[in-house]
Amino acid sequence: MEFDRNKVLIVEDEAPLRFGLARCIERAGYIPLQAGDGPTALEMVSQHMPGLVILDVMMHGMSGIEVCRKLREDQNTSEIKIMFLSARGQVREQTEGLEAGGDYYMTKPFEYKKLLQVLEDLLAERKPD
From the list 105, 34, 35, the residue with the least C-alpha distance to 65 is 105
pLDDT at 65: 95
pTM tops 0.85: yes
pLDDT (tens digit per residue) in 95-129: 888 999 999 999 988 999 999 999 999 999 888 87
